[in-house]
Amino acid sequence: MPLSATDAVTQLTALLGGHAVIGDSDRMGNYLNEPRKRFRQSAVAVVLPSSVEQVQAIVRWAAEHSIGLIPQGGNTGLVGAQVPMRDDEVIVSLSRLDRIRSVDVAAGTMTAEAGVILENAHKAAEAENTIFPLWLASQGSARIGGLLSSNAGGVNVLAYGNARELTMGVEAVLADGRLYQGLNSLKKDNTGYDLKDLLVGAEGTLGIITAATLKIFPKPEDYETALVNITGPEAALTLFQMVRERIGSRLNAFEIIPATGLEMQLRHGFLDRDPTAGPSPWYALIEVSRMKGGPAGTLQAAIEAAFSENLIDNAVLAESLSDRTRMWAFREQMSEVQSKEGASIKHDVSVPIAAVPQLIAEGISAAERLFPGIRPVPFGHMGDGNIHFNFSQPVGADPKAFMAQADEAMHEAIYEIVLRLGGSVSAEHGIGQLKRELLVQVKDPVALDMMRAIKTALDPKGILNPGKMLRADA
């Protein structure tokens, strides 16, 4: 017989203590409300374990009673993986597992628990004159476990890779409560399947990550940052190829932003002043790291070469930390500022780098044919092919009416182009519940069968984040 919510809270309180269980729905708000407010479902309880052993106890209890568990980090995910789909589930917040267990500069690793806030991981690395290069706008609230579970990307993927590539090993609680002890700092280990890669990016459906061994790198002595005026994505691709040839692996980031984004940010006071060199239809934000003893001025030399080859006609280099901060704020505030312009339709997609200009051109053309007055706001990681292809409502439109009319049609149009160009409908945000049905439509059937087999083998009762990524009944 299923447990009632009251009995579940009583048993969890006995298991963990009253301080670690929230059973009052009025106090669960922050755990239930995901950033885009697209999904809202109550839960039986929120539990906040303070040790790995408590996570194991929770999972064993859930397995015994066949109760779904929703692992949650900083609740910054954008596809609804970290919030319930049903009201009979329990949220497991990893926020109290927030220790940096070790930093090993010689090995180039840091071991952090799942609840460590990304910004604190940065500080722990920097205290040892190193960096943990996973960098994204939500770093003040996003937590390591969630970032790994969604295989987060960010602005440094070009130089350092995404979360999976930055992870040496993980520790995770499996669906029967056993602890997978996969923390290590070995660069070479050919003793079977790479189970770490299975758990990273699984969105908590195969195990609850409790800690990870992460790669850290020597801290650059300085950064060279520039905002360059470009005519469009085609020019950006040519410029990117030229800069990469000249600078190589020290090219940290190459981001593109349309003039629309600058206009929005200045209009709503997101920037204290214009950080660009002047009006332009598009901008490229380029950053290069300079290691200790390395030559200065490599980005400036590349930009001067671009001028001489008539690839660009204007640019500004950061001359101070405040300049660099303002330039990056311009990029990082792109999603947030759209909320000030009414409703927006968002896509996190990737295509081969050479296809980015075609994606943007065809996507804008399709949108304007479907909905005259719609405002395309594509921006993002030109250097790795990941574009956040967003659209703001026409000026003066009713937000609800716009979303009802345009949301599904725009998704269909953009995804058709992405797939035709050999791309992915989820570049760095994951699947969660938002793109679960879409996954069935676009994923290779054999790959889906393999995923289902792995899920069944590792979570036969289906208690770990049920219904996320794969339907619970599929």
pLDDT of residue 405: 95
Residue 474 pLDDT greater than 60, yes or no: no
The token pair at 164 is 């999976």
pLDDT one-digit tens code per residue, 428-466: 888 999 899 999 999 999 999 999 999 999 999 999 999
The token pair at 426 is 């989820």
- In angstroms, rounded to a whole number, what is the distance separating the alpha carbons of residues 100 and 121? 8
Percent of the chain with pLDDT over 70: 99
What is the value of pTM for the model shown?
0.92
pLDDT of residue 191: 87
The token pair at 327 is 């330039």
DSSP 8-state symbol, 117:
B
Residue 1 pLDDT greater than 70, yes or no: no
The token pair at 403 is 């979303």
Residue 10 pLDDT greater than 90, yes or no: yes
Residue 273 CA, chain-centre distance (Å), reads 28
pLDDT of residue 216: 97
pLDDT of residue 154: 86
Which neighbouring-strand residues pair with 388?
A: 348, 379
pLDDT one-digit tens code per residue, 307-356: 999 999 999 999 999 999 999 999 999 999 999 999 999 999 999 999 99
pLDDT of residue 2: 80
- In angstroms, rounded to a whole number, what is the distance separating the alpha carbons of residues 474 and 470? 7
DSSP 8-state symbol, 285:
E
pLDDT of residue 409: 96
